Structure 1
Amino acid sequence: MSEETRSGIRAISGETFSLEDAVGGWRGAIESVAPGLLFVVVFVASGQRLTPALIAAAACAVLAVIIRLIQRSPLTQAFSGVLGVGIGVIWAWRTGEASDYFAWGLLVNVGYLAAFLVSIVIGWPLVGLVLGLFRPEGPLNEGGSWAGAVAWRTDRVLRRRFAIASWVWVGMFAARLLVQAPLYWADQVGWLGTAKLVMGVPLTALVLWLSWILVRGTTAARPTPAPTRQDP
């Protein structure tokens, strides 16, 4: 896999770090931010009317997919955005509560927080598991295997580095919940939307960069031990 195609947590497996690639390119970042931003702007501008805000957010997400289809661009990120927006729109429409547009995002953060935390506790930090896929011994490389992907567990230093990097992700998801959950329960839609935007792509980019600093070089091939000289 080339450096240019690494995005999200895969970006920390490279020898160099590209902020643009890490967030899925500036286009991907805009597609991620735009529906939520439009939802809040339309909701406030329309006098807190829910329907126009939901229509605006859904239309924005669908438009991103249509444009990619026309341009024959990769659809993975756009489709994932449509899925998240769609769940938020349906949830808020059924309950009639604007804050429920953000409920799915909060649950996703709970899920990721639990996954990263459990992985650290049981000694299989998720950052290590993901990076193991990109190691020369990993299954994504020719001749690699799943056993090679987790060979790092025999190295105490690597386990520690991957655990520390995973704690950084735990911190991000915990911070989001600590800030956004109270705003959700208080039905502060404007502030909730603002917090979600600030703690979305910008915070994720920062965490990706910190993770790369912590684990860079760990996907390099293991040196082959020198043969032991034996006396005749």
Structure 2
Amino acid sequence: MQTVTGETFSFADAVGGVRGVVEAVLPGTLFVVVYVATTNLGWSLGAAGVAALGAVGLRLAQRTPVTQALGGLLGIAVGVFWAWRSGEAQNFFAVGLWTNGAYLVAVLASILLRWPAVGFVVEALRTGFTAERAREQGAEGANPFAGLSAWRADRTLMRRYTIATWLWVGMFALRLAVQLPLYLDNSVGWLGTARLVLGVPLWGLVLWLTWTLVHGAHTAHHEARAEDRAPQEPSAPQ
């Protein structure tokens, strides 16, 4: 989400570059390919696990940040464990369905409560959580958490943040609408394909649309504030 606060949008930065994409999709892709080719659950789970472990190991060896790779490894580990214990290949993807369901409920609830999730996250990234950030902005002694709620008084920001949050609701709902029937039908190959198509590409598109809405809102907001602060020309004497 930090990508949407920038002056320009970079799809590569949003998805972690080519390496980030490979780390995200390779384990799941190998699982589907090996399972479709062999119908052997053990080999499929092994291929996915080796790919995820390899990504972390390579980053450790190169002394590069491992946060993204570790996050992927955790998700793969849960999927491998779930599928292995149940003996059902489709359960490799179950954790993704549960995760999307949880996010869907959370972002939808944020809209209903009039605290759109995109607005809260973006403003938290913009304003920070510390008094030092407030002082940097010339607000000595100001409440460092004020920025987390001040944006809700701006109708333009609220409207755009709400629309942006609806985009995320749509993404999570679309994933569930497509993938859940395939999961229930035990269509492992099609389920894996749908997960790839509705994964990084759709996520990147929603991030770009979110950035467009957020950037436009803040541009208009700053222009309005600049006009309000501009000195007014004295009226001509009557």
Q: Please report the TM-score for the alignment, with normalisation by the length of structure 1.
A: 0.89
Unaligned runs of 5+ in 2: 136-143, 233-238
Which of the numbers 3, 11, 31 marks the counterpart of 1:39? 31
- Separation in 1, partners of 2:54, 2:68: 13
Which of the numbers 38, 42, 48 marks the counterpart of 1:51? 42
Matched with 2:229 is 226
Aligned length: 219
Give the share of equivalent positions with the same residue, in percent: 53
Structure with the largest fraction of helix: 2
TM-aligned CA deviation for residue 133 of structure 1: 1.5
Matched with 1:21 is 13
Note the alpha carbon deviations across 1:45-87, whole angstroms, 9 max, x for none: 11x1100000000010000000000000101100000000000
- The 5 Å alignment of 1:116-195 reads 116-135=107-126, 137-139=127-129, 142-143=133-134, 145-195=144-194
- Separation in 2, partners of 1:53, 1:219: 47
TM-aligned CA deviation for residue 143 of structure 1: 1.8
Matched with 1:6 is none
Contact 1:10 1:131 in 2 (8 A): yes
* Stretches of 4+ aligned residues off by more than 2 angstroms: 137-141, 217-229
Bigger radius of gyration: 2
Unaligned runs of 5+ in 1: 1-8
- Separation in 2, partners of 1:173, 1:19: 20
Question: For residues 204 and 227 of structure 1, do their structure 2 counterparts lie closer, same or farther at Cα, with a shift above 3 Å needed?
Answer: closer
Matched with 1:3 is none
TM-aligned CA deviation for residue 139 of structure 1: 2.3
C-alpha RMSD of matched pairs (Å): 1.9
Contact 1:127 1:163 in 2 (8 A): yes
The one-letter amino acid of 1:139's match is F
